[in-house]
Homo-oligomer: A and B are copies of this chain.
Amino acid sequence: MQAPATGAVPIGIVVCSDRAASGVYEDKGGPAITAYLGEVLATPWHPLLAIVRDERDLIAAMIESLADLRGCPLILTTGGTGPAPRDVTPEATMDACDRLLPGFGELMRQASLKDVPTAILSRQVAGIRKSSLVINLPGKPASIRTCLDAVFPAIPYCIDLIGGPRLDTHDERCKAFRPAA
Query: B-contacting residues of A (Cβ < 8 Å)?
Result: 82-85, 91, 99-107, 109-110, 113, 116-123, 128, 133, 151, 153-154, 157-158, 161-163, 177-179
Known contacts A100-B123, A101-B123, A123-B102: A118-B83 contact under CB 8 Å = no
Q: Which residues of B contact A153 (CB under 8 A)?
A: 117-118
User: Measured between alpha carbons, how far is A128 from B121 in the docked complex, in Å?
Assistant: 11
Q: Which residues of B contact A154 (CB under 8 A)?
A: 117-121
A135 CB → nearest B CB, Å: 11
If over half of A's interface residues share one DSSP class (helix, strand or loop), that class is named, otherwise mixed; here it is: helix
Known contacts A106-B106, A107-B113: A99-B83 contact under CB 8 Å = yes
User: Measured between alpha carbons, how far is A158 from B83 in the docked complex, in Å?
Assistant: 7
Q: Is B120 a contact of A104 with CB atoms below 8 Å?
A: yes
- Can you name 6 extra interface pairs (CB under 8 A) apart from A85-B162, A118-B179? A83-B162, A106-B106, A106-B120, A107-B113, A116-B179, A117-B154
Instruction: Pick 17 A–B contacts, CB within 8 A, sort by A.
Output: A83-B101, A83-B162, A84-B161, A101-B120, A101-B121, A102-B109, A102-B123, A106-B106, A106-B109, A107-B113, A110-B110, A117-B154, A118-B158, A118-B178, A120-B151, A120-B154, A121-B154
